[in-house]
Structure 1
Amino acid sequence: MIHYISCPPSDPAKSKGTILLIHGFPQTSYQFRRVITPISDAGYHVVVPDYRGAGESSKPWTGYTKDIMARDLYRLVTDHLSIKDPIHVVGHDIGGMVAHAYAVLFPDSTASVCWGECPLPGSQPYHEVKSTMPFFHFTFHCVPDLPELLVQGKERIYLKHFYDRHGQNPSAISTHDLDVYATAYAMPGSMRGGMNTYRAFEADGEMNNKWVKEKGKCKVRCLNLWGAQSFSDEKTAMTMAEPYYEEVGFEMVTGAGHWIAEERPAEFVEKVLKWVESK
């Protein structure tokens, strides 16, 4: 079961289309609380799920490769919500990896894709950073069972480390917001689900490179969106995306670290809508 938020435009008859927002780790659909209404007010139907293993969605033991997670969301959009027109897919962090899989698997159902703040598994930048200290959790989360046991009861402390370390705007994630996320990840199976998304990275990387060899570059136009004070730069981001897409754009959000939609919500909305409406 995939839990989701659905926010249609004020006049559905004049809808400009659907935008699917996919959160990352350690977050939930709550990540997009400040941008849902502005995007909807711009004329779009906004759909914001908790992906499998997170928030109010089911938390199975398996199925955390990004192709399976993308298929979850495709079924949500096409079967449950009966949306037949191509949609715009926007993903952040782990959600960015899912967004990439969605665009590759369902190009005819994807009008555009926007992702960032994630080293895409299989790419050159991913291999360069995955074992470095700022990304210690890439290795830690892949250890079977132990991370969940060590973090149990200390979810708030563990999550706060990431919000503090990777953010530029300290006020973006308040004490209340931290409580919301900590409560979500203290739910049975939630932290395990989060760790399992990392445990699938190597399989994801093999799949990403297999797809491009078999299918060629993805024809869906792709925007790479990053925080200006995050770990990436334009050269790194383009090196990450260009081997996988025929058309790649790049945008930086000034004054934002990793948590773009929370640190600079107005700029996030501006960049996403500019890309969505550019063609």
Structure 2
Amino acid sequence: MASTRSTITANGIELFLREQGEGPLVVLCHGWPELSYSWRHQIGALADAGYHVVAPDMRGFGRSSAPQAVEAYSIFDLVGDMVALVAELGETRAAIIGHDWGAPVAWHAAQFRPDLFAAVAGLSVPPPWRGKGPPLDQLRAAGITNFYWQYFQKLGVAETEFERDVASTMRGMLCGGFADPGRSLFVPEGRGFIGRSAASLPLPPWLTEAELAFFIEQYKQSGFRGGLNWYRNIDRNWELTSPWQGAPIHQPAAFIAGSNDPVISDKMSGKHLAAINRVLPNLKQKLIIDGAGHWIQQEKPAEVNAALIEFLKENY
């Protein structure tokens, strides 16, 4: 049975969904700059394994609502969307799995609502360990001024770069960008995030021209502001999550990443990865896939699917 597509109202916005299967509910949260389509290899596999799988275009992405206000993209709004989604589907229990920015949504959903989210998995981004100060302040205090988070803060700057040539941007993101283990997450002065050679990058073996074209077409329609607004709440999220300072996530948990992912090798995520057992005392699975990069569920679908199904069968 193929996945179905629909739009529902949840938490005051419209969410576009890809949905397949029957059984216990599994919610898949994509990252940036991605879409529910990023889970195309997982939706059918998890449905065939006996789960009701739902993958939304997250707030600000694709065919879902993209509120204008930066403040509409806090971690409370993002988790609130997933809580409301579960309720709209008539369920009171779910497993939640996130990749990239979707991983912090999944981790915080489990942390905020353990009554609702019975199991949690994160891909590529380790669970949060709330530091002593706002992350952007911490970067500045360390003398760092050109990390990509910082580049994304000023309204319109990254949007202008990315929307100038969406095809080149998406090729640069998926074929270079975070996919390249040698890629710096720092933005050279006057050069932008993508780099000038993006248009000529060859496709990796895990991505077809048709798949890339789908991402390009969707981003031509939606633009990039919604997703960038997630980054513009990084310090605000630190403030909002103060009640959970030092709080572990007790549900069964899994973490999956690629050994060549530059995200887990940067200083912040590297520290979080080292502290993973403090945040996840019930960590059931930690899988680092050798040779894989950041777009892990698209790059290594067989390995990711097998790991997720094993985790869900044993813990959900």
The CA deviation at 1:195 is: 0.7
Superposition map of 1:27-176 within 5 A: 27-62=34-69, 63-78=72-87, 80-84=88-92, 86-118=93-125, 123=130, 136-165=147-176, 166-167=178-179, 170-176=204-210
Q: In structure 1, the residue corresponding to 2:53 is in which secondary structure?
A: strand
The CA deviation at 1:242 is: 3.6
Of residues 287, 291, 295, the one that matches 1:251 is 287
How far apart in 2 are the matches of 1:156 and 1:136?
A: 24
How far apart in 1 are the matches of 2:37 and 2:15?
A: 14
- Residue segments in structure 2 that go unaligned for 5+ positions in a row: 1-13, 181-202
Amino acid at match of 2:170: L
Q: Percent identity at matched positions?
A: 24
| CA RMSD, Structure 1 to Structure 2 (Å) | 2.7
The CA deviation at 1:120 is: 5.5
Amino acid at match of 1:71: G
Q: Which residue of 2 aligns with 1:194?
A: 227
The CA deviation at 1:266 is: 0.9
How far apart in 2 are the matches of 1:57 and 1:180?
A: 16
Amino acid at match of 1:82: G
Instruction: Tell me whether 1:229 sits opposite 2:229 in the alignment.
Output: no
- Residue segments in structure 1 that go unaligned for 5+ positions in a row: 10-14
Q: Which residue of 1 aligns with 2:4?
A: none
How far apart in 1 are the matches of 2:139 and 2:45?
A: 35
The CA deviation at 1:236 is: 4.6
Aligned residue pair count: 266
Q: Which runs of structure 1 show a deviation greater than 6 angstroms over 4 or more consecutive aligned residues?
A: 128-133
Pair 1:195–1:75, CA change in 2 (3 A): same
The CA deviation at 1:97 is: 1.1
Q: Which residue of 2 aligns with 1:12?
A: none
Equivalent pair of 2:114/2:251 in contact (CA under 8 Å): yes
The CA deviation at 1:130 is: 6.6
Q: Which residue of 2 aligns with 1:261?
A: 297
The CA deviation at 1:226 is: 0.6
With structure 1 as the length reference, what TM-score do the two structures score?
A: 0.85
Equivalent pair of 2:123/2:296 in contact (CA under 8 Å): no
Pair 1:242–1:123, CA change in 2 (3 A): farther
The CA deviation at 1:246 is: 3.0
Pair 1:49–1:227, CA change in 2 (3 A): same
How far apart in 2 are the matches of 1:205 and 1:75?
A: 23
**Structure having the higher Rg:** 2
The CA deviation at 1:247 is: 2.1
Instruction: Tell me whether 1:238 sits opposite 2:267 in the alignment.
Output: no
How far apart in 1 are the matches of 2:215 and 2:286?
A: 29
Of residues 3, 7, 19, the one that matches 1:6 is 19
Amino acid at match of 1:6: E
1:49-106 per-position Cα deviation (integer Å, ceiling 9, x unaligned): 011100110110131112211111211111x21012x211100001001111211121
1:198-247 per-position Cα deviation (integer Å, ceiling 9, x unaligned): 1111222333454135xx32222222211122132797553353443332
The CA deviation at 1:273 is: 1.4
How far apart in 1 are the matches of 2:129 and 2:166?
A: 29
Q: In structure 1, the residue corresponding to 2:254 is in which secondary structure?
A: strand
Amino acid at match of 1:219: H
Equivalent pair of 2:249/2:281 in contact (CA under 8 Å): yes
Equivalent pair of 2:251/2:282 in contact (CA under 8 Å): yes
How far apart in 2 are the matches of 1:121 and 1:101?
A: 8
1:122-160 per-position Cα deviation (integer Å, ceiling 9, x unaligned): 656x96997899x94322111222221232231221222
With structure 2 as the length reference, what TM-score do the two structures score?
A: 0.76
Pair 1:178–1:152, CA change in 2 (3 A): same
Q: Which 10-residue stretch deviates more, 35-44 or 160-169?
A: 160-169
Pair 1:222–1:209, CA change in 2 (3 A): farther
